Structure 1
Amino acid sequence: MTSVVLGVSAGIAAYKACELLRLFTESGHDVRVVPTRDALRFVGEPAWAALSGNPVATEVWQSVHEVPHVRIGKEADLVVVAPATADLLAKAAHGLADDLLTATLLTARCPVVFAPAMHTEMWEHPATRANVALLRERGAIVIEPAVGRLTGADTGPGRLPEPTEIFEVCRRVLAGRGTDLAGRHVVVSAGGTREAIDPVRFIGNRSSGLQGYALARTAVARGAEVTLVAANVALPDPAGAKIVRVESALELREAVLAAAEQADAVVMAAAVADFRPERRSDVKIKKTSAEPEPIRLVKNPDVLAELVAQRRARREAGGPAGPRVIVGFAAETDDVLANGRAKLERKGCDLLVVNQVGENLGFGTPDNAAVVLAADGGMVEVPRGPKEDLADVIWDLVAERLG
Structure 2
Amino acid sequence: MSEKNILLCVSGGIAVYKACALTSKLVQNGYNVKVIMSESATKFVSPLTFQALSRNEVYTDTFIENNPEVIAHIDVADWADLIIVAPATANMIGKLANGIADDMISTTLLAATAPVWVAPAMNVHMYSHPAVQKNIQTLYQYGHRFIEPGEGYLACGYIGKGRLEEPEKIVELIHSHFNSLPLPLNGKKVLITAGPTKEKIDPVRYVTNHSSGKMGYALAEEAVKMGADVVLVSGADNTEVPAGVTFLKIESAEDMYNEVMKYYPQVDVVIKSAAVADYKPSLVYDKKVKKQDGNLMIEFERTKDILQELGKNKDRQFLVGFAAETNDLEKYALQKLERKNLDMIVGNNILEAGAGFSGDTNIVTIFHKDKSVKKLPLLSKHETAKEILGEIILKMGDD
- Alignment partner of 2:373 out of 376, 379, 386: 379
Instruction: Write the distance in 2 (CA, Å) between the matches of 1:253 and 1:41.
Output: 47
- Alignment partner of 2:358 out of 364, 377, 389: 364
Q: How many residues align?
A: 316
Instruction: Write the distance in 1 (CA, Å) between the matches of 2:365 and 2:297.
Output: 39
Cross-structure match for 1:41: 49
2:320 is equivalent to residue 327 of structure 1: yes
CA shift in 2, pair 1:366/1:264, >3 Å: same
Instruction: Write the distance in 1 (CA, Å) between the matches of 2:334 and 2:320.
Output: 14
The letter of the residue matching 1:187 is L
**Higher mean C-alpha deviation, range 362-371 or range 345-354:** 362-371
Any stretches of 5+ residues in structure 1 without a counterpart? 22-30, 46-56, 60-85, 94-112, 133-141, 312-320
| DSSP 3-state at the match of 2:378 | strand
| DSSP 3-state at the match of 1:145 | strand
How far off is 1:307 after superposition? 1.0
How far off is 1:195 after superposition? 0.9
Cross-structure match for 2:297: 294
How far off is 1:330 after superposition? 0.9
Aligned sequence identity (%)? 31
The letter of the residue matching 1:127 is A
Alignment check: 8 A CA contact 2:6 2:83 kept: no
- Alignment partner of 2:331 out of 333, 338, 342: 338
TM-score normalized by structure 1?
0.64
The letter of the residue matching 1:126 is L
How far off is 1:168 after superposition? 7.7
Alignment check: 8 A CA contact 1:189 1:212 kept: yes
Cross-structure match for 2:268: 264
CA shift in 2, pair 1:87/1:204, >3 Å: farther
Cross-structure match for 2:153: none
Alignment check: 8 A CA contact 2:367 2:374 kept: yes
Q: Any residues of structure 2 matched to 1:2-401 within 5 Å, and which?
A: 15-16=17-18, 36=33, 41=49, 90-93=78-81, 117=86, 119-120=92-93, 121=96, 122=105, 125-128=109-112, 130-132=113-115, 144-149=117-122, 161=148, 162-163=165-166, 166=170, 178-288=182-292, 290-311=293-314, 321=315, 323-358=316-351, 361-401=355-395
CA shift in 2, pair 1:172/1:8, >3 Å: closer
CA shift in 2, pair 1:351/1:87, >3 Å: farther
Any stretches of 5+ residues in structure 2 without a counterpart? 36-46, 57-73, 97-104, 137-144, 149-164
Instruction: Write the distance in 2 (CA, Å) between the matches of 1:337 and 1:172.
Output: 38
CA shift in 2, pair 1:168/1:238, >3 Å: farther
How far off is 1:245 after superposition? 2.0
Alignment check: 8 A CA contact 2:6 2:84 kept: no
| DSSP 3-state at the match of 1:200 | coil
The letter of the residue matching 1:264 is D
| DSSP 3-state at the match of 1:261 | helix
How far off is 1:175 after superposition? 11
How far off is 1:389 after superposition? 2.3
How far off is 1:193 after superposition? 0.6
CA shift in 2, pair 1:159/1:402, >3 Å: closer
Instruction: Write the distance in 2 (CA, Å) between the matches of 1:292 and 1:175.
Output: 62
User: CA-to-partner distance for each residue in 1:236-294, whole Å, 9 max, x for gaps?
Assistant: 33222222222111121121122112221111011001111111111111112x11331
| DSSP 3-state at the match of 1:218 | helix
Instruction: Write the distance in 2 (CA, Å) between the matches of 1:37 and 1:306.
Output: 47
The letter of the residue matching 2:391 is L
